[in-house]
Structure 1
């Protein structure tokens, strides 16, 4: 695997762990009975902020783990980190990722418009953000493996 594929896998793992953390917190609130659909309390804001912080820390850690460690075992020292192909792959994956988030956001707004509780909308927005990140990273990995 090359540098970009290692980096993408590291970021994908960090996003999946952050989704797991957030899902665990949602499930835990549901089990405790504090899963009030009618209001969005400050505890939901703190759960979302902690999930974002977890993802940032894990992304940094995985980026270091999946790029520096394999680089130290290679004999090549002059590696081009980004070229035109990489930029095209990033643009295509970002376009797909933004489309996924846009569709998720639209669905979240529809749920609010038809009268579902605000917490449903909030969770749909959060999960569509995570889903967009996962779809974008999988698209990048697919395009790198395919050779664009």
Structure 2
């Protein structure tokens, strides 16, 4: 497995674990406090902002640890650099990001349907959050597919 595929798989797994852990924390551990607030827009605004900050900070820390582990583990081996990106890697990233953005934009459009039908705003937040997570995961899945396909 190349270093690029390893980074993508690592990103895929950490995205699922961080999102799952945060959802478990908010709705299971803090459920008594948070469940009565679920219908409020303030709850969803804070929820998404906290999730965004957590994802960014956790990804930075985890990728630093990943780089340190790879350097220590492959000290004597001649392996490609973690930061090495060629034209093929850029093309794969552009294609997977394009498909991911299509899912995110479709999710945004779908999230407007409950609001336009007169439903509560929390349905919009749930839809945007769901499609955002799916687009992030699918971006990694497409990168793995394109790397294995040999694009």
Asked if TM exceeds 0.5, the reply is yes
Q: How much does 1:66 deviate?
A: 3.0
Distance 1:104 1:20 in 2: 20
Q: Tell whether the 8 Å contact from 2:44 to 2:125 is kept in structure 1 after alignment.
A: no
C-alpha spacing 1:77/1:13, structure 2 compared with 1 (3 Å): closer
Q: Tell whether the 8 Å contact from 1:108 to 1:122 is kept in structure 2 after alignment.
A: yes
C-alpha spacing 1:23/1:47, structure 2 compared with 1 (3 Å): same
Q: How much does 1:69 deviate?
A: 1.6
CA RMSD of aligned residues (A): 2.3
- What residue in structure 2 maps to residue 145 of structure 1? 148
- What residue in structure 1 maps to residue 16 of structure 2? 16
Q: Tell whether the 8 Å contact from 1:10 to 1:62 is kept in structure 2 after alignment.
A: no
C-alpha spacing 1:68/1:36, structure 2 compared with 1 (3 Å): closer
| TM-score of the aligned structures, taking structure 1 as reference length | 0.84
Q: How much does 1:137 deviate?
A: 0.8
Distance 1:29 1:44 in 2: 15
2:120 counterpart of 1:117: yes
Which residues of 2 match residues 71-110 of structure 1 at below 5 A? 71-74=71-74, 75-76=77-78, 79=81, 81-110=84-113
CA offsets 1:3-31 (integer angstroms, 9 cap, x no match): 11121122112211232134332466766
Give unmatched runs, 5+ long, in structure 2.
none
| TM-score of the aligned structures, taking structure 2 as reference length | 0.82
Give unmatched runs, 5+ long, in structure 1.
none
Distance 1:117 1:28 in 2: 25
- What residue in structure 2 maps to residue 131 of structure 1? 134
Distance 1:29 1:78 in 2: 44
C-alpha spacing 1:22/1:119, structure 2 compared with 1 (3 Å): farther
Q: Tell whether the 8 Å contact from 1:18 to 1:55 is kept in structure 2 after alignment.
A: yes
